[in-house]
Amino acid sequence: MIAEDIRQVIIDILARIAPDEDLSDLQDDVAFREQMELDSMDFLDIVMELRKQYRVQIPEEEYEQLISMSSTVSYLMPRLKDVESPA
């Protein structure tokens, strides 16, 4: 997957976690927490969704890499580069 695919994967996960949220104007460099009020329960869910769908294991001390869209994408790039894009 390339960065663009990974971004879409994260958008899909966020849409499942918060189906009532409008994600079209999500800003990639601003923390999810600030834009969507995600709490620790929600971050755990992003981690578990990635594990469920792509078998990516993210150790607890690296959760902070998932703070915003751009940091999440760069963190996941090397880990998902050999995975086929879902679309």
Partner 1 sequence: MVKYDTVIIGAGLSGLAAGIRLAYFDKSVCILERHTTIGGLNSFYRLRERNHDVGLHAVTNYAPPGTKTGPLSKLLRQLRLRWDDFRLCPQRESTVAFPGCTLRFNNDFQLLLSQIEEQFPAQRDNFQRLLNRIDEHDELSLNDVPTSAREIVAAEISDPLLVDMLFCPLMFYGSPTASDMEFSQFVIMFKSIFYEGFARPFEGVRLILKSLVRQFKSLGGELKLRSGVRTILSENQRATALVLDDGSTIETKNILSSAGSAETIRLCRGRTEEDAPQPGEISFVETIFSLDCQPADLGHNQTIVFYNNTPQFRYDTPDEACDVDSGIVCSPNNFQYGDRVDEGRIRITALANPDIWMNFAESDYIREKDSWCRRIVDSAVAHVPDFRSHVVDTDMFTPRTIKKFTGHLNGCVYGAPQKIRDGRTHLENLFLCGTDQGFLGIIGAMLSGITIANLHLLKTP
Q: Which residues bind partner 1 (CB under 8 A)?
A: 16-20, 36-37, 39, 41-42, 44-45, 48, 51-52, 57
Smallest gap, in angstroms, from Cβ of residue 48 to partner 1? 6
Residue 10, C-beta contacts closer than 8 angstroms, at least 6 positions apart: 46, 69, 72, 73
Give me the amino acid identity at 87: A
User: Minimum CB separation from partner 1 for residue 20, in Å?
Assistant: 5
Cβ nearer to partner 1, comparing 41 with 87: 41
Torsion of CA 66, 60, 13, 45, to 10 degrees: -130
Question: Considering beta carbons, is residue 37 or 62 the nearer one to partner 1?
Answer: 37
3-class SS at 15? helix
Shortest Å distance, C-beta 30 to partner 1: 15
Q: Which is nearer to partner 1, 2 or 26 (CB)?
A: 26
